């Protein structure tokens, strides 16, 4: 009886393995079918097959990729326009930690509120500001902050100013400069978008017909 059960189990395992193999084969076949259809499209022939036969269009593709990267970074920066001091978010609490570890080019500031919640900020501080603020560990400070969007599209809290007993340890005196940078980013993004459009149109126009 036991031998029969073992045989039935082996047959069942074999059937399951066969079913899995069939499903995998179907998925591979479906994927190959999709790829085959894409390769037959006119756009694929224009932008991949014919374009890759020309050295100049290969160079244009390389420049386009570079411009797209710059355009993406500037576009993300444009999502968060500069705010005046009275428009910034604020929070008050105990300065729990301020450090700059590893290869980070910024400081990590941790503020603990009275209810126990922790706020973690990203702060770009010079040595004078860092010394002043670091001496206040364990004391109440007020943080003026804004949100920034990382190129990977997640939000970060960015320290703009820090005060202690109404005395600013990090002043927010660079608003005008931030506006200038923001406006320059608009120009960069517009320029990158325009050049990319011209390159793509040129590649399409020169490869729209078979040689």
| Report field, pTM of the whole predicted structure over 0.85 | no
Burial call 96-115: b when 16+ CB within 10 Å, e when fewer: eebeeeeeeeebebbbeeee
Which of 94-108, 126-140, 185-199 has the lowest average pLDDT? 94-108
Quote the pLDDT of residue 159: 95
Convert the pLDDT of each residue in 103-158 to its tens digit: 677 889 999 998 889 999 999 998 899 999 999 999 999 999 999 998 888 999 99
Number of domains in the chain: 3
| Residues 163, 139 share a domain | yes
- Reported as a single tens digit per residue, the pLDDT across 18-41 is 666 666 666 667 788 888 888 888
Query: What range does the domain containing 28 cover?
Result: 1-40
Same domain, residue pair 134 and 199: no
107 bridge partner residues: 123
188 and 161 in a common domain: no
pLDDT digits (tens, 9 = 90+) for 171-184: 999 999 999 999 99
């Amino acid at each position: 009886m036991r031998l029969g059960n073992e045989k039935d189990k082996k047959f069942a395992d074999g059937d399951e393995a066969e079913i899995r193999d069939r499903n995998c084969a179907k998925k591979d076949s479906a994927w190959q079918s999709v790829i085959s259809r894409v390769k037959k499209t006119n756009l694929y022939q224009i932008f991949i097959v014919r374009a890759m036969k020309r050295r100049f269009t290969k160079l244009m593709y390389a420049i386009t990729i570079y411009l797209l990267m710059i355009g993406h970074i500037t576009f993300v920066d444009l999502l968060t326009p500069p705010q005046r001091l009275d428009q910034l978010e604020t929070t008050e609490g105990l300065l729990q930690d301020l450090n700059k570890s590893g290869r980070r080019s910024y400081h990590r500031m941790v503020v603990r509120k009275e209810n126990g919640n922790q706020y973690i900020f990203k702060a770009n501080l010079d040595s004078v500001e860092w010394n002043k603020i670091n001496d206040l560990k364990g004391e109440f400070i007020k943080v003026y902050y804004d949100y920034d969007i990382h190129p990977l599209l997640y939000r970060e809290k960015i320290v703009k100013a820090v005060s202690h007993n109404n005395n600013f340890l990090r002043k927010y005196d660079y608003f005008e400069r931030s506006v200038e940078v923001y406006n320059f980013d608009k120009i960069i993004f517009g320029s990158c978008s325009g050049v990319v459009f011209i390159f793509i149109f040129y590649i399409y126009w020169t490869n729209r017909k078979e040689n």
